[in-house]
């Protein structure tokens, strides 16, 4: 039994000394005025910050918005944006339809903020959807709103000729 105690007595200082580097490692404190030695990951934004400007609406932006909308929004809001998605069929409360006059009149920033922070029962998607994709979803929602009340008279002469 004595040799076991001697081995433990010799190993204990080595184990304790091995942890000393953890106390002296670089770190960023919560209230530091400037970032410490720890690096800040790329594409990180300050809490509650917004992209500097709304991207121009292009076909590529609408395609990306449609793709992201189908992934993140359609389960609740449905493909048409009428608030009758699959989740609602399972007993969850229905979200408002994008056809409501108040949502049609809402500025794009309102929709962006609702996606970012959440609204009502909807939780925020800031940690799941990057700002560029949020703007793409907003552009697609606007396209959905326009498409629901579109008439043949809204199309150009060339587009009307191609209609069935």
Within a domain: 133 = yes
Within a domain: 144 = yes
Within a domain: 91 = yes
Within a domain: 71 = yes
Contacts with 3 (C-beta within 8 Å, 6 or more apart), sequence order: none
User: In a structure prediction context, what are the per-residue pLDDT tens digits for the chain, which is 164 residues long?
Assistant: 677 777 777 777 766 665 555 666 666 666 665 655 556 666 676 666 655 578 899 999 999 999 999 999 999 999 999 999 999 999 999 999 999 999 999 999 999 999 999 998 899 999 999 999 999 999 999 999 998 888 888 888 887 788 77
Confidence at residue 30, expressed as pLDDT on a 0 to 100 scale: 66
Reported pTM: 0.66
Task: Name the domain count of the chain.
Answer: 1
Confidence at residue 70, expressed as pLDDT on a 0 to 100 scale: 96
Confidence at residue 20, expressed as pLDDT on a 0 to 100 scale: 57
Within a domain: 11 = no
**Distance (Å, whole) CA 56 – CA 53:** 9
Contacts with 74 (C-beta within 8 Å, 6 or more apart), sequence order: 85
Determine the structural domain holding residue 101 and report its residue range: 59-148
For position 106, which CATH number holds?
Answer: 1.10.760.10
Within a domain: 48 = no
Within a domain: 69 = yes
Within a domain: 46 = no
User: How far out from the chain centre does Cα 118 lie?
Assistant: 10
Quick check: 27 and 38 in contact, CB under 8 A?
yes
Give the DSSP H/E element, type plus range, for residue 12.
Answer: helix 2-18
């Amino acid at each position: 039994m004595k040799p076991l105690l001697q081995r433990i007595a010799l190993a204990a200082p080595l184990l304790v000394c091995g942890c000393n580097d953890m106390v002296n490692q670089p770190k960023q404190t919560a209230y530091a005025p400037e970032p410490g030695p720890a690096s800040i990951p790329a594409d990180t934004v300050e809490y509650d910050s917004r992209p500097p400007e709304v991207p121009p609406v292009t076909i590529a932006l609408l395609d990306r918005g449609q793709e992201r909308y189908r992934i993140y929004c359609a389960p609740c809001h449905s493909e048409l944006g009428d608030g009758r998605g699959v989740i609602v069929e399972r007993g969850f409360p229905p979200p408002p339809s994008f056809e409501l006059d108040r949502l049609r009149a809402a500025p794009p920033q309102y929709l962006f903020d609702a996606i970012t922070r959440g609204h009502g029962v909807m939780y925020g998607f800031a940690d799941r959807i990057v700002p560029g994709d949020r703007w793409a979803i907003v552009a697609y929602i606007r396209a959905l709103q326009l498409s629901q009340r579109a008439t043949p008279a809204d199309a150009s002469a060339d587009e009307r000729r191609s209609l069935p």
